[in-house]
Amino acid sequence: MSNDPKKSLGIGLAGFGTVGTGVWETLERNADLIFNRSDVKVDIVRIAVRDLNKVRIEGVSEDKFTTNWQDVVNDPKVNIVVELIGGTDTAFDIVAAALRAGKPVVTGNKALLAERGQELFELSNQFNTPIHFEAAVAGGIPIIKTVQDSFVGNSIQSMVGIINGTSNYILERMTDAGLGYEEALGEAQQLGYAEADPTLDVNGWDAAHKAILLATLAYGFTVDHKQVYVRGIERVRATDIDFAKRLGFVVKLLCVVREHANGVIEVRTQPSFIPQSHILSSVNGVFNAVAVRGDAAGDSLFYGRGAGKDPTASSVVADIVEAALGLRHEGSHRGFLPYQQEGSVMSVEDTETPYYVRFDVNDEPGVVAEIANLLADAGIGISGMHSPVHPDEPDAEFVDMVFQLHTCRFGLLKETLKKVEALSCVNSRPVVFRIEDLG
């Protein structure tokens, strides 16, 4: 590769939707700034799309477009391949082909790397060709580069984050405006914060894929997504939001990545109660935040827009420049590679936190005692029980009974709640939220 700083490197885009057009616009708008800062010139020379008849942004020559992704990877003018189509099948084929061709890859595809990363990282190592994926986690927040580079001298003790803007917006509207789940989801869809099919956002898997990538970066081995506990926000109800407020908490879809003393790591995603006093409780709307704790650096917080055209394009462009600089220095491999052959992921059954548990029970004498006795028999302590009727509204309709429980193994709690659910006074499956200690 020529070291001539005036030589322009060719970029091939697979996908030209919201993010792809944002990448084009950012490169066009800031070309001089990028060159002045990095000595890198890049030019998008080939673009793969599904439909050639779709209206494109102005200024992009029609002869750049193709419906065949192989045309992008095989074009001799393409030095760097940018995968922006999503999914885990065709996207895998594109990334794998680029790596075999010795062309660095830039991708924002968190599902692809979380589910098939092991195969792709092996190809990356085999062909000494990097994968860059800053845009795959938290949009415009440079968390990947920070963990990989700025924290290189730290043992990462934990990473806790709010990394799905759609769920965060829905929970905020339920909290601040008193909307029900379905109403808040509909509003998010009208505003374009949620897709027509919001499944991956609200069921927790979009955030979980990102948490898997963060864990892989921090601990050096590819985390199997099948070992990761994931729950979404679909069962969060106004009752839970209200109780959280009264108890001094807010409900957030929280990703937790944590190393334990025995080297086993904890990776999970679920709606959780977090203290109103903690800084993550103030992360609202479609914003994301990741709190990182390193043994040397201590606590750091990274905050910004977690999605959207321009923030995500910003991360993609940063990776394109990084890939271009890597090509300038032959033999350097600036992408991430797993540096441990294997590691252990803690079973969710062995994870421990305090809990909030809501029971739908009959309004009859002895209910509290029956539930409390089963919890006591299991050795699970009760830190609080809360009246089903708000003290300021004594004539209000009866609502569910809430218990706050001391820290215990999640597996033990599940076993005990099965017994509670079998009681004649309990009408449905108990609702459980973790109460997170983020101190």
Q: Say if residue 329's pLDDT is above 80.
A: no
Shared domain check, 95 and 162: no
Task: Work out the angle at residue 44's Cα, subtended by the Cα atoms of residues 38 and 48, and round it to the nearest 5 degrees.
Answer: 140
Shared domain check, 49 and 157: no
Phi-psi region of 68 (alpha: psi -120 to 50; beta: other; left: phi over 0): beta
pLDDT classification of 365: cutoffs 50, 70, 90? confident
Give pLDDT, residue 362: 86
Q: Tell me the mean pLDDT in the region 328-337.
A: 74
CB 245 within 8 A of CB 176: no
SS (H, E, C) 182-228: HHHHHHHHHCCCCCCCCHHHHCCHHHHHHHHHHHHHHHCCCCCHHHC
Among candidate residues 271, 304, 337, the one where a domain is terminated: 304
In 3D space, the residue among 204, 170, 251 whose CA is nearest the CA of residue 435 turns out to be: 251
Give pLDDT, residue 244: 93
Shared domain check, 425 and 399: yes
Element (H, E) at 384: strand 382-386
Question: Which residues constitute the domain of residue 278?
Answer: 143-304
pTM value is: 0.91
pLDDT classification of 2: cutoffs 50, 70, 90? very low
339 lies in a domain? no
More confident residue, 7 or 381: 381
Residue 163 in 3-state DSSP?
A: coil
340 lies in a domain? no
2 lies in a domain? no
405 lies in a domain? yes
Shared domain check, 51 and 86: yes
Instruction: Indicate which CATH number applies to the domain containing 287.
Output: 3.30.360.10
Give pLDDT, residue 335: 81
Find how far residue 186's CA is from the centre of its chain. Answer: 22
Six-digit token string for 119: 């195969």
pLDDT classification of 300: cutoffs 50, 70, 90? very high
Question: Considering its fold, how many domains does the chain have in total?
Answer: 3
CB 291 within 8 A of CB 160: yes
Quick check: is 210 catalytic?
yes
- Rg of the chain taking only CA atoms, in angstroms: 24
Shared domain check, 27 and 176: no
338 lies in a domain? no
Sheet of 80-83, strands arranged across: 65-66, 41-48, 8-14, 80-83, 105-107, 131-132
Task: Report the distance separating Cα 277 and Cα 407, nearest Å.
Answer: 20
Shared domain check, 284 and 178: yes
What backbone phi and psi angles, to 5 degrees, belong to 138? 65, 35
Give pLDDT, residue 224: 93
CB 179 within 8 A of CB 187: yes
Give pLDDT, residue 3: 44
Instruction: Indicate which CATH number applies to the domain containing 22.
Output: 3.40.50.720
Shared domain check, 273 and 158: yes
pLDDT classification of 399: cutoffs 50, 70, 90? low
Shared domain check, 252 and 177: yes
Task: Work out the angle at residue 308's Cα, subtended by the Cα atoms of residues 237 and 28, and round it to the nearest 5 degrees.
Answer: 180
Mean predicted lDDT score pLDDT of the chain = 91
Among candidate residues 269, 289, 304, the one where a domain is terminated: 304
Q: Tell me the mean pLDDT in the region 334-350.
A: 89
Shared domain check, 193 and 92: no
291 lies in a domain? yes
Shared domain check, 248 and 266: yes
What single-letter amino acid sits at 142?
A: P
Q: Say if residue 5's pLDDT is above 80.
A: no
Instruction: Indicate which CATH number applies to the domain containing 425.
Output: 3.30.70.260
Shared domain check, 429 and 295: no
Given the residues 64, 110, 210, 252, the one annotated as active site: 210
Q: Tell me the mean pLDDT in the region 232-236.
A: 94
Give pLDDT, residue 55: 65
Shared domain check, 148 and 135: no
Taking the CA atoms of residue 175, residue 179, residue 183 and residue 189 in that order, the dihedral angle to the nearest 10 degrees is: -40
Task: Report the distance separating Cα 221 and Cα 338, nearest Å.
Answer: 5
Task: Report the distance separating Cα 293 and Cα 276, nearest Å.
Answer: 20
Give pLDDT, residue 393: 60
Element (H, E) at 420: helix 410-421
396 lies in a domain? yes
3 lies in a domain? no
CB 137 within 8 A of CB 306: no
